Structure 1
């Protein structure tokens, strides 16, 4: 989900190098000129509805709205504390009566050093830690009661107990709630914000308020609950609903929040701002007296940016990135259903809040200007900072609109979002649009996904819950974000872009507001692409050509639930003379005839090529064999056996390339994908010093990524 330093890191980067790269990046960027603050345009009017017109919603499941919230929250800006009063109407969507409800108390992760989250993270997140000792955060549920439906008697107090792990509580009802029935609850709670270092909290007057109120788990049809403790790699899962929220903050504070503002009352000391949001599964907000506000509109959607003056120079870049993301994702995955999007730029010192998504609101990271001496050396890049905007907006679809379970299958959120990010860059810049350029050598979005495979540990498979990835072992970001993206983009390259894009579009349309699982996506891809995709073209004039039947389901099963690696190499090229004529042979009558010496002068040329599958992940590969007359012969190989031997009579072979267009993004080691016969030369584009410089520049630009 997040992009990491300097604020959040794009999942196309490399987590383990972040500290070294931060230092290098600081040196590279240090002498960049400080830009001026652009004038803010006239404000774009507040939308009249939190949702766009009905045609933009798509098909909303009849039972999508499970919870209705009314919240009043008062911020004590000195203590960084929130007093909250909430009313929740919640419907039993299961087939059985329920008599209890688990409550997520996410803020309790920061209550003490011995919570599960703090123990696993050792008090740090993406390289950030609290600026001062202490600064704990918590949520304290002071009371919960049930409101009588007929309002004929006083609210009935209920018992809520914290679990051993304090990020979960259990609320017991005074009587069972039948299937289809609704309960109305009143909650009083106090939330103490922590010093911000992991998504939510405060730094000076800056307040980022996320996962701040008690939230129910998700009830399954059989009456079981999905509600897991908040752990280091786990994120969030909740039902859709509507929110009516009043925020009471000092008059001098500028506020951004999920949904749209519908009322404001200000007595000059404090102000009360009322927000409405519909068909969302969370509500987050931010408040800071030093925010500048920049607004724009795109395709009827209000874009609002909140930032400190030191980041104002990047407003246009982030706006352009947001427009590109909207255009790409609406075309690929259906209309964005809400009327607004708010981009929050955390101030310097609050980078821990960056790179996090909430419904209709997300935090981004700062653009890093490249110092002129480095530019003079030929380094150019297009993604610093703004890739965070692309990535976090992508979460408005994966997981905001589709709302998969981020704990049980984080790849379905993070990995599919990372896949969509690469497609946004392709749509914005074209298939030949570079991301980083050093002199004449360019790197593209696909290159970043492929390069990231060097840092992906294959100790763990993709399709696991968040807690299966130990922070000690590492590999969460590499596996969940980057290996998933490589798996999907490799599939796209193998079966064809048009077919893959159509299948993924159909999945996204069908699963709007529907909480899909990984099985739903796998089924959609198999149905959309076909169980077996025929690759290659059979040539009746060339018996060596053959078609390959590619098993889509088997590919996905291996890629998601196995640790097998893709690794092919050109094992050998042998150019030689064919066996010369001569010697003794029996004729048709069985008599030995001949006896001539071998005709070595007249022997024809021949060549033998051997391809070796070293990895255990079987994926079809294309081969390009350049003959001595410069003819390029193409073959496709299923990879089913360990080796493939090709013979070419009458020719020598100059060179062999495996997947010459670099389609196998899953393959980390590709320098052995090309081999040259003696006397010929081939450049793979990455092995020379300029290629190494470009890759190093890529690491600097997309500095350290992770969850």
Structure 2
């Protein structure tokens, strides 16, 4: 039994904490020297940054005149061999890392992400249980299909490097996803060091977008990856610090840019897809092929291998100032119907993102359609390489087809927000998931795409309702009781990371409605220009929006309400009247005398005046007459202060529009006009999709079924979504 299995069994049975984790080279337990603790770690609960980064952070803005796209901090040279029967990988890695700081570095931190899947006591699975989700892919505990990574040896210049597992976020002592290596030779400021690492992977039954099913292998987070050393002035750091977080249940990743030179050896009959460009024809030896991939200016590397792959679909896309991009779609035979739609969606996304943000900077794009029973591998992004959804028997115009289209666009979009902009997904997932989701739906809207809510059968009988993407996001986000700011980190969230997508996209769409569509695009394009191949923070994004739009107060208010805090939006019309000011009973002066007018007399006088007026105005519109009308509208605010518009329409077609903002919880507006009001509506342009309930935004003084019809349509959309979901399971 492998040592990792023994440790897993010990953890499960007795909860024993192993101080040094695996054995150091030579079979003796690694020790923890006193040296190496002089550089702090990022706080365990670090989240949205409030202070903008220094102008020179990460080497400053990339002008395009540099020798490389990014300031390459790390170089990986990896040779790996896959055993597709045992689902294991033997790997050798030469990791060269440059110390960007002005201090000597005596210890480095590496991520061993695969150890999240080695037992039920990892931070990942512990958080899963606390959330009520149990163990993802629960068959693992029954069938022994766990995954892990062993460090078999680590050397620096021929000297052995001791290591110990640490839990920077205060997770269980049994978590082994972060390791500290205490170097025999410190790395001087500006100097580089090389670590020669021998490692072994046991892939898990596919889960959390990594692992195997049958002959299909998605090999992700599979090699020891060095953490990020942040300098003062970068992402809110005030002193030098290591940013190294455990693998949390709902977090993703953060790493330095660098270059990858990777040789992958697999059986001859296996088709391989990977990050980067294939170098020449694979070399055959002893029934195996070695595929050689190289890619610079990325911060991760992933690959797939499957002997059941159909002949790949390959095409080339060119446009918008970038080099031609070779697109490869890998898919199993039973999902051949997915290949062409995936290719088209990728081309459309390349065109849109290159035009609206900036040219795609790489020469390849590889997309994998996972096979049936490998759904855990669907929808995950890596540089120049991602997996999309899967829909057997795909038919155009159905919900399944639209979802494949959207997932492909979404995962491609990550290539910009996660890949090129490279934000910290542990601490600020909003910069990737939220912004990407917003830009995805922006693309769908701009290209006229809507979400069909139908199945193949219903479509054939002519029942195919549609919903806009942003309305779909709105329905899926918590609005009445949102619990977590968008800027919260990925792993301390009461409602999980889902609202980062839905509420994030909705918040950005609402801000777009305030700033203007063109202004928002200019801001995002500038954000990409300034921060590509660097690591922006939420504060950096906020500053670009404020500067480009020229509306700093509005931008900072939105960030204060929804990004750094979380505030419900709930404006409504609480009352609406428009009453005729006809003669009323009482004592009044007539010809210098006080006259007591009874209610009957006042009514008779009003009737006479109306009759005379109607005879004089035979073509008068309803709602007009001899008397003025007093129109009163009271609006109430039960949430955040948002810039609001009230629109009142009158019987003669005239309108009154007023603006309302401020912290006051209610306000009453009045108009005295010779015509009756017929409707009152706040947010007439639909700028506030975060509002708890849009149905209470309007009132009418005549019977109007539009609200009921809209509510019925919303219910129908939800119902049809459930039908489509059930039909595709």
Is the contact between residue 626 and residue 656 of structure 1 (CA under 8 Å) also seen in structure 2? yes
Spell out the pairing of 1:294-443 with structure 2 (5 A cutoff): 294-299=313-318, 300-367=324-391, 383-429=402-448, 435-436=452-453, 442-443=466-467
Q: Is 2:291 the partner of 1:270?
A: no
Further displaced range: 105-114 or 685-694: 685-694
Kindly provide the CA deviation profile for residues 469-520 of structure 1, in whole angstroms up to 9, marking residues without a partner as x.
Answer: 2xxx433212x11111111100001221111111121111111011000000
Which residue of 482, 489, 499 corresponds with 2:519?
A: 499
1:2-37 CA-to-partner distances (Å, cap 9, x unmatched) read xxxxxxxxxxxxxxxxxxxxxxxxxxxxxxxxxxxx
Do the aligned partners of residues 125 and 483 (structure 1) sit closer, same or farther apart at CA in structure 2, a change above 3 Å counting?
Answer: farther
Matched, 1:645 2:648: no
Q: Secondary structure at the match of 1:238?
A: coil
CA distance in 2, matches of 1:656, 1:347: 54
- Tell me, in whole angstroms, the C-alpha distance in 1 between the residues paired with 2:512 and 2:359: 22
Offset, 1:338: 0.7
Native 8 Å contact 2:480 2:568 kept in 1: no
What is the CA deviation profile of residues 63-116 of structure 1, one whole-angstrom value per residue up to 9, with x for unaligned ones? Answer: 720001110001111111100001111100122211000110100001111111
| SS at structure 2 position matched to 1:671 | helix
Of 543, 549, 554, which aligns to 1:523? 543
Residue 279 of structure 1 deviates from its aligned partner by: 0.3
Comparing 500-509 and 624-633, the one that deviates more: 624-633
**What's the offset of the Cα at 1:654?**
1.3
Deviation string 1:516-542 (CA, Å, 9 cap, x unpaired) is 00000111111111235xxxxxxxxxx
Post-superposition shift, 1:560?
A: 0.8
Which residue of the partner structure matches residue 47 of structure 1? none
Query: In 2, distance between residues paired with 1:287 and 1:199?
Result: 14
Instruction: Give the one of 159, 162, 165 matched to 1:162.
Output: 165
Distance 2:342 2:547 in 1: 37
Q: State the Cα deviation string for residues 539-595 of structure 1 (Å, max 9, x = none).
A: xxxxxxxxxxx62211221111222111121211112122648866799xxx97654
Corresponding residue number in structure 1 for 2:484: 460
Select 1:486's aligned residue among 506, 511, 514: 506
Give per-residue Cα distances to partners, 1:394-424, cap 9 Å, x unaligned: 1001111000000011111111111111111
- Per the alignment, residue 20 of structure 2 pairs with none
Is 1:475 paired with 2:482?
no
Structure-2 residue corresponding to 1:626: 649
1:576 aligns with 2:586: no
- 1:485 and 1:702 mapped to 2: Cα distance? 22
Give the CA deviation at 1:619: 1.0
Residue among 189, 195, 207 paired with 2:199: 189
Alpha-carbon spacing, 1:253–1:415, altered in 2? closer, same or farther (3 Å) = same
1:285 to 303, 316, 319: 303
Higher relative contact order (CA 8 A, sep 6+): 1
Partner of 2:278, secondary structure, is strand
Give secondary structure in 2 for the equivalent of 1:429: coil
Are the structure 2 counterparts of residues 59 and 684 from structure 1 closer, same or farther at C-alpha, using a change threshold of 3 Å?
farther
CA distance in 1, matches of 2:430, 2:105: 31
Q: Does 1:255 align with 2:272?
A: yes
| 1:604 alignment partner, SS class | strand
Query: Does residue 1:567 correspond to 2:570, yes or no?
Result: yes
Equivalent residue, structure 1, for 2:214: 204
* Aligned-partner SS, 1:323: helix
Q: Structure 1 residue 249: deviation in Å?
A: 0.6
Structure 2: give runs of 5+ residues left out of the alignment: 1-61, 167-172, 232-238, 319-323, 455-461, 610-625
Task: Give the whole-Å Cα distance in 2 for the aligned partners of 1:179 and 1:129.
Answer: 47
Structure of larger gyration radius: 2
Counterparts of 2:576 and 2:408 in 1: how far apart (Å)? 47
TM-score normalised to structure 1 length: 0.81
Aligned partners of 2:315, 2:594: CA distance in 1, in Å?
A: 90
Q: Which moved more, 1:115-124 or 1:457-466?
A: 115-124
Q: Secondary structure at the match of 1:121?
A: helix
Give 5+ residue unaligned stretches, structure 1: 1-54, 148-154, 533-549
Shift of 1:687: 3.5
**In the TM superposition, what are the counterparts of 1:98-109 in structure 2 within 5 Å?**
98-109=105-116
What is the match of residue 605 of structure 1?
628
Do structure 1's residue 659 and structure 2's residue 683 form an aligned pair? yes
Report if the CA contact (8 A) 2:589-2:595 is conserved.
no
| Alignment check: 8 A CA contact 1:609 1:647 kept | yes
Of residues 224, 229, 235, the one that matches 2:241 is: 224
Structure 2 vs 1, CA of residues 434 and 362 (structure 1 numbering), >3 Å: closer, same or farther?
Answer: closer
Provide the secondary structure at the position in 1 that maps to 2:578.
strand
Aligned counterparts of 1:57 and 1:126: Cα–Cα separation in 2: 46
Return the alpha-carbon distance in structure 1 between the equivalents of residues 424 and 290 of structure 2: 34
Aligned-residue Cα RMSD (Å) equals 2.9
2:86 is aligned to: 79
Shift of the 69–186 alpha-carbon distance from structure 1 to 2, 3 Å rule, reads same
**Conserved in 1, the CA contact under 8 Å of 2:437 and 2:505?**
yes
Report if the CA contact (8 A) 2:338-2:394 is conserved. no
- Choose 656-665 or 223-232, whichever is displaced more: 656-665
Query: Deviation at 1:663?
Result: 2.1
- Give the deviation of 1:172 after TM superposition: 0.8
Instruction: Find the counterpart in structure 2 of residue 235 from structure 1.
Output: 252
Residues 1:695 and 2:714 are matched in the alignment: no
Question: 8 Å contact 1:354–1:363 — kept in the other structure?
Answer: yes
Give the deviation of 1:622 after TM superposition: 2.5
CA spacing shift, 1:367–1:62, aligned 2, 3 Å: closer
Report the Cα distance in structure 2 between the residues aligned to 1:322 and 1:199, rounded to whole angstroms.
20
Contact 1:462 1:561 in 2 (8 A): yes
Displacement of 1:259: 0.1
Moved more, 389-398 or 499-508: 499-508
Distance 2:674 2:513 in 1: 33
